[in-house]
Structure 1
Amino acid sequence: MIVAFTDLDDTLFQTRRKLPAGAAGLTPATVDRDGQPHSFCTPAQSALLAHFAASGVTVVPVTGRDPAAMARVTLPFTSWRVLDHGLTVLRPDGTADPGWREQVLAHLAELAEALAGCTEHVAALAAEHGCRLTRHRAHGAHFMTVLKHPQADAARLEALQLAWEALLEERAWAGLHIIANANNVSVLPRHLGKAEAVRYLREQHFPDAALTLALGDSLSDVPFMNACDLALTPPAGQLLRTVTAARLPQR
């Protein structure tokens, strides 16, 4: 058995805004809240998915999307799914895996005070910078706070990221960490995420897999990609841009 654990947004599909002007041969992959096509697979991405299907590769989405956002993905995923940045593992029948849910809730209980403190600390500053603050929940528990700027103002997001980083260092809240993408900054559990969920699935449900592949585009995907045998990443993603920009001596 071969299992491909894959990020979704900007790995298997992306919005039109992130595609070259005049891009052709696109296949709709998600819809918006009104049911209109929102994200699309390029011919190369569609070819990869078709190859996986024809070869009998089990494809497991590993995404930050919550169940509602995952329901708007129109690609035919039929196996396990990892949602909420790893906090939710869904079985093929769409129900939450009880073993993983139990582990998640126990860990979140230990982090509840620190996560609430981080959220309260930055709320006023977020409003001052025109950012929307959203508390995300999984299994009924607060697990992540996201700050998003409507125009993706990098300077304003950086100011909020630095405020959070300083607070985590000051309070020694090592159980939380920060991830930053193009238009948002988030604080969430450090040791409970995509990587841990992938390891859980490998150990509990795919122990006999001959090969595990990981697909991801961002730095926050690296931990779960390191939990697999081989990794694939798109050329325009944050991960490969960072590697390309590195000026390290070759040894």
Structure 2
Amino acid sequence: MIVAFTDLDDTLFQTLRKLPPGMPGLIPATLGRDGQPHSFCTPAQSALLAHFADSGVTVIPVTGRDPAAMARVALPFTSWRVLDHGLTILRPDGQMDTDWRGQVLTQLEPLQGALRDCTQAIAGLAEALGCRLSHHTAHETHFMTVLKHPDADAGSLERVQLALEHHLDSRGYADLQIIANANNVSVLPRYPGKAEAVRHLRQQHFSHATLTLALGDSLSDLAFMNACDLAVTPPGGQVLRTVTAAKLPQR
């Protein structure tokens, strides 16, 4: 049995803004809140998904999307699903894995004060820079604060990220982490996360798998990618950009 644990956005599909103008053969992969196509699979991404389906590979999304955003994904996932950056696991029947939920809540509760403090500390700068601040919850519990600039202004997002990093360091919040991309900056628990959710599924439900693949594009995916046997990453993604820019000795 082969299992592919895969990130979604910018790995299996992306918005038109990130694709060459007029690219042929695109297939809608998600819908926006208005019900219109929002993200698309390229022919290569569609071919990969078709190959997985034809080969009997079990495909499990591992995504930061919450259940509502996952419901707008049009791709036919039929197995387990890892949502909310690993804090929510849905069974193949769409019901929540309550055992995992209990473990997550036990670990989230002690972090509420630190999350609240980080949110309050960054709110003033975020407002001054025109960033939108939002609270994300899992199991009715705050687990992530996201700061997004309406124009994806790199300078503003960098200032927010640096301020958050300084605050975490100064307060000694080792159990929190910052993840960032071209669109937003977020602060959330370091554990549990995608990697712990993938390990949980491997141990509890896929211990018999002969091969586990991990697909992801961003640095925040690396932990769960390292929890699998082999990793696949798209060109131009954050992972390959970082590796390409690294000046490391070859030995």
Check whether TM > 0.5: yes
Count of residues in Structure 1 that have an aligned counterpart in Structure 2: 251
Partner secondary structure for residue 143 of structure 2: strand
Structure 2 CA distance for aligned equivalents of residues 175 and 241 of structure 1:
27
Q: CA deviation at 1:63?
A: 0.4
Give the 4+ runs in structure 1 shifted more than 3 A: none
TM-score (norm 1): 0.99
Q: CA deviation at 1:34?
A: 1.4
Corresponding letter in the other structure for 2:48 = L
Structure 1 CA distance for aligned equivalents of residues 121 and 93 of structure 2:
40
Structure 2 CA distance for aligned equivalents of residues 83 and 137 of structure 1:
12
What do the CA deviations read for 1:202-247 (whole angstroms, capped 9, x no partner)? 0111111110000000111000000000000000111111111112
Partner secondary structure for residue 64 of structure 1: coil
Residue 188 of structure 2 is matched in structure 1 by 188
Q: CA deviation at 1:57?
A: 0.3
Q: Which stretches in structure 1 are left out of the alignment for 5+ residues?
A: none
Structure 2 CA distance for aligned equivalents of residues 7 and 77 of structure 1:
13
Corresponding letter in the other structure for 1:19 = L
What do the CA deviations read for 1:102-149 (whole angstroms, capped 9, x no partner)? 010000001011011001111111100100000000000000000000
Partner secondary structure for residue 144 of structure 1: strand
What do the CA deviations read for 1:14-33 (whole angstroms, capped 9, x no partner)? 01110011200011100111
Q: Which stretches in structure 2 are left out of the alignment for 5+ residues?
A: none
Structure 2 CA distance for aligned equivalents of residues 80 and 114 of structure 1:
31
Corresponding letter in the other structure for 1:165 = E
Q: Give runs of aligned pairs for residues 18-97 of structure 1, distance below 5 A.
A: 18-97=18-97
Corresponding letter in the other structure for 1:135 = H
Residue 201 of structure 2 is matched in structure 1 by 201
Q: What percentage of aligned pairs have identical amino acids?
A: 75
What do the CA deviations read for 1:58-109 (whole angstroms, capped 9, x no partner)? 0000000011100000000000000011110000111110111001000000
Q: CA deviation at 1:248?
A: 1.1
Structure 2 CA distance for aligned equivalents of residues 112 and 31 of structure 1:
33
Q: Give runs of aligned pairs for residues 212-251 of structure 1, distance below 5 A.
A: 212-251=212-251
